Amino acid sequence: MHFFYDAVTRIENHAITRWKQSGKKVVGYTCSYVPPEIFHAAGILPVRLRGIETDGMEIGDAYFGPFICSFPKCLLQQAGKGEFSFLDGVLIIPGCDAMRRLDECWRKAGEDHQGIVPTWFEYFDVPHKSEVHGMNWFVQEIRNLIERIERQFGVSVTGTALRESIREYNRGRRLLKTVETLRAEKNVRVSGTDVFSATIAGTVLPREEYTRQLEKWLEDLSGRDPLEGEKKRLMVIGSIADEIDLFQLIENGTDAVVVAENLCFGVRYEGNEIPVNGDPILSLARHYLETSVCPRMFGKYKQRLALLREKIERAGVEGVILQNIRFCDLHGSENGLFQRDLEAEGIPCLRLEREYGPLKETGRIKLRIDAFLEQIA
Ligand code: SF4
């Protein structure tokens, strides 16, 4: 686990530094709708941008103002501090309006803070529906992205290279599926914090290295004893979360274990492999637009609820923590619907509103989690 913890607890981990030292390029991107396979096929390391390690908000606050989600603010704060200076490019995705504003705020901040906007600073649009019009648009968006990468970095992204990259990512997907099977066991032998770290690591590490480490970790896991003591089995869902402190807060010193989650940095449709035959661009478009369901998409509530039910049943979940970052309308409102529907089925739910970034309100959050655990028999 040490390798994964190193990768997920710092913005520029050792593997990224080694990659840079070998003269290769790194591009940061902001949302799970981007197919990282495209960068992989171009020989570029795709790194999902995270706002961890922030120790102030003076830059984020100045450009965004007070009434907005703290995730894009933390990203801007870190950009303004030069923490993303290892990047050769950035791709912004309008996952929500707050993330769309990151594009303009980062550009504006770049006028005042020298060198924080990389030469290649691009926007990748994602439709809000996956039916015909949306899908055609998304396919075109992917083709445009490939052309822009080829022009900027002097590379060629061929169909063969894309298929190879899809194969490589599929290997990781299969391994994560096995992890999900393991954590769903009655006598669970792995903490949610460990699984979450291993999943986030997949978004910030060179893929081959990640897959190798995942294989080793799985070998180790299969020989492990179950965690000590009777455990209350939880699921965590909601707004963006890539801070393992939240999971540690839930699990450390309690009798709880997170056995499932539905978070855009976590495992959503594990094992959902991308077909390698046929047009790779079409396969990527279908996979990322149709299966990465998030409340930003129209008409997918029932699909998301069905996914939660399936996870609850498979992993024997006894309680669900529905967290949302303050001012996150997408997850804040959807969590209300989930709570209504899950509680109607007898599944205890805890709604938590919080800020992204270093957990400032640990006392309040811990108190509420402890009270919730007491509710679960
Ligand atoms: S947490 Fe909500 S508001 Fe914040 S970036 Fe994600 S979707 Fe947007």
Nearest atom within ligand 1 for CA of residue 295: 7
Q: Which of 29, 50, 96 to mutate to test the pocket of ligand 1 (most atoms within 8 A of CB)?
A: 96
Distance separating alpha carbons of residues 115 and 12, to the nearest angstrom = 17
Strand partners, 237: 262, 322
Q: Which domains does the chain have, with CATH numbers?
A: 2-128 (3.40.50.11890), 160-375 (3.40.50.11900)
Nearest atom within ligand 1 for CA of residue 331: 2
- pLDDT tens digits, residue range 108-158? 999 999 999 999 999 999 999 999 999 999 999 999 999 999 999 999 999
Query: Residue 324 has what pLDDT?
Result: 96
Q: Are 356 and 70 in contact (CB under 8 A)?
A: yes
Kindly give the residue spans of alpha helices, DSSP state H, lying in the chain: 2-8, 14-21, 36-41, 58-64, 70-80, 97-112, 132-153, 159-183, 192-201, 207-222, 244-251, 280-286, 301-315, 329-344, 362-375
Higher pLDDT, 229 or 44: 44
pLDDT over 90 at 12, yes or no: yes
Does the CB atom of residue 200 touch ligand 1 within 6 A? no
Q: How far is the CA of 328 from the centre of ligand 1 (A)?
A: 5
Sequence-distant (≥ 6) Cβ neighbours of residue 361 within 8 angstroms: 354, 355
Does the CB atom of residue 95 touch ligand 1 within 6 A? yes
Considering only CA atoms, which residue is closest to atom 8 of ligand 1?
A: 96
Does the CB atom of residue 31 touch ligand 1 within 6 A? no
pLDDT over 90 at 208, yes or no: yes
pLDDT over 80 at 267, yes or no: no
- pTM tops 0.75, yes or no: yes
Task: Name the region of 154 (left: φ>0; alpha: ψ -120 to 50; beta: rest).
Answer: left
Does the CB atom of residue 323 touch ligand 1 within 6 A? no
Nearest atom within ligand 1 for CA of residue 294: 7
**What is the CA angle 147-151-153, rounded to 5?**
115
Query: Residue 312 has what pLDDT?
Result: 97
Considering only CA atoms, which residue is closest to atom 2 of ligand 1?
A: 328
Nearest atom within ligand 1 for CA of residue 332: 2
